[in-house]
Structure 1
Amino acid sequence: MNMNRIAPTALYQEVAERLRQRIFNHELTPGTWIDEQKLAEQYGISRTPLREALKVLASEGVVELKPRRGCYVTEISRQDMDDIFPLMAMLEGRCALEAVRRAKLADIRALKAIHERLEVAAKEGRIDAFFEANQEFHRLIQELANNRWLLSVIQDLRKVLKLSRLHSLSLEGRLQQSLEEHRVIMAAFEANDPEKAEKHMQDHLLSSRQALARQYDSNTGKAA
């Protein structure tokens, strides 16, 4: 049995999810033309659910539908990053503020437990483990904010950012710098200080953008 094939009765959402993961895993790289016929044959489906799936991904900014040219995986430019990160800083800063206001003692403990994983991963130099804990740290704060509109916009923007191959944590000193930024965010939660949590989260996101810019310059041989 071909495990790549999708049953004809499957919904287009399943097709969209499979393509989304292939894109985020860079099996389909930015700028790649999407061969609809080939994918439809691979998944064992008609082109109708495939096209519906591509419309979903286009609405998320993951692919681009170009008239008379077909569908392409979205490419993220430096300008895109410069445009997105200030928005992320503003939105996630607001999440942190609302999260502090709503968080109960058990919530602070749960966040602290994730932060301890960041501490251990940083001490051991395990970038992948740090990255995963970092994702959970931010996700929990977003959940604690309990603002579905903020969460929806942040999730859409983060999907677009996943298209970038850059990984700033591999830069010398960035792992420790990121840990320090998480420490002050955590301290603001423990001190029940929503304004500081907002400010520190904004600073953290903007610092991440600066680190990505340095990595881009390093990869292209430009001066930082």
Structure 2
Amino acid sequence: MTRIAPTALYQEVAERLRQRIFAHELPPGTWIDEQKLAEQYGISRTPLREALKVLASEGLVELKPRRGCYVTEISPQDLDDIFPLMAMLEGRCAAEAVDKATSHDIAVLKSIHEQLESAARDGRIGAFFEANQEFHKKIQELAGNRWMLSVIQDLRKVLKLSRLHSLSLEGRLQQSLDEHRVIMAAFEGRESAKAEKLMHDHLLSGREALAKMEDSNAKAA
């Protein structure tokens, strides 16, 4: 009978590997050396393989028959496929969030937006990125649609595989801030349809910024 791996153990291993992948300690295309990792973590290969199955279901690694496991490489075509889906889903989230948000919820969202403003003024890209993540997360929570949230979270995990960061593009931080300002105004004005379109366009704007970075890198190569 096959031994059942302790749930908490393989989940912990999956989270450790997930963070290493996001930090690009395990870059896209990297072969996962199962024996070496098992020795590093002081575990058997059974919970490690269960952890890799979890990451494969999230699209972060690929399990290739007779070749092993590799960190997923995300291509420009992948980004072209993913961003329109993200735009559609996050746009819908914004509309539902406007309809469901209380005055207190709007105030909390406003406080997160003020963190964006502060980070932008000081040119703190890392802080802006964190506040940006929190802003989107809060809107998704306010929408209260767990199915949509699950799909968005999975897609955002895959996007973290990209080596490119649109906020590093000259002028993109200010452009992103301007986009957040009008989204915030739509929430304060309780304009759900407007919030949906603005959020949709905001996501596609992010893809356009990444495309510019891809072109720039290709010319520099």
Which one of 186, 195, 198 corresponds to residue 197 of structure 1? Answer: 195
Pick one of 73, 76, 87 that aligns with 2:74: 76
| Aligned mates of 1:109, 1:194 — CA distance in 2 | 17
Given candidates 13, 34, 37, the residue that maps to 2:35 is 37
Q: Distance in 2 between matches of 1:112 and 1:10?
A: 37
| Aligned residue type for 1:68 | R
Residue 61 of structure 2 aligns with which residue? 63
TM (norm. structure 1) is 0.94
Which letter does structure 1 place at the counterpart of 2:25?
E
1:81 deviates by: 0.1
Whole-angstrom CA distance in 1 between matches of 2:129 and 2:209: 15
In structure 1, what is the Cα distance between the partners aligned to 2:192 and 2:28? 38
AA matched with 2:24: H
Counterpart of 1:126 in structure 2 is: 124
Distance 1:81 1:212 in 2: 9
Q: Which residue of 2 aligns with 1:3?
A: none
Deviation, 1:175, is 0.7
Identify if the C-alpha distance between structure 1 residues 50 and 184 changes in structure 2 by more than 3 Å, giving closer, same or farther: same
Can you give the 5+ residue segments of structure 1 that lack an aligned partner in the other structure? 1-7
Between 121-130 and 146-155, the greater mean CA deviation after superposition: 121-130
What is the CA distance between 1:220 and its match in structure 2?
1.6
The one-letter code sitting in structure 1 at the alignment partner of 2:56 is A
Aligned-residue Cα RMSD (Å) equals 1.1
TM superposition shift of 1:131: 0.4
- The Cα offsets for residues 171-212 of structure 1, whole Å up to 9 and x where unpaired, read as 111011000100110000000000000000000000000000
Cα distance in 2 for partners of 1:93, 1:207 equals 13
CA distance in 2 between partners of 1:63 and 1:122 (Å): 34
| Number of equivalent positions | 215
Seen in structure 2, the aligned counterparts of structure 1 residues 53 and 186 have a Cα distance that, compared at 3 Å, is same
TM-score normalised over the length of structure 2: 0.95
Alignment counterpart, residue 95 of structure 2, candidates 87, 94, 97: 97
Over the matched positions of the two proteins, sequence identity in percent amounts to 82
How big is the shift at 1:87?
0.0
Aligned partners of 1:154 and 1:102: how far apart in 2? Answer: 19
- Measure how far apart 1:218 and its partner are: 1.0
* Structure 2 gap ranges (5+): 1-5
Which position in structure 1 is the counterpart of 2:44? 46
1:94 and 1:123 map into 2 onto residues whose CA distance is 30
> Distance between the aligned counterparts of 1:10 and 1:181, measured in 2?
41
Mean Cα displacement is larger for which, 198-207 or 162-171?
162-171
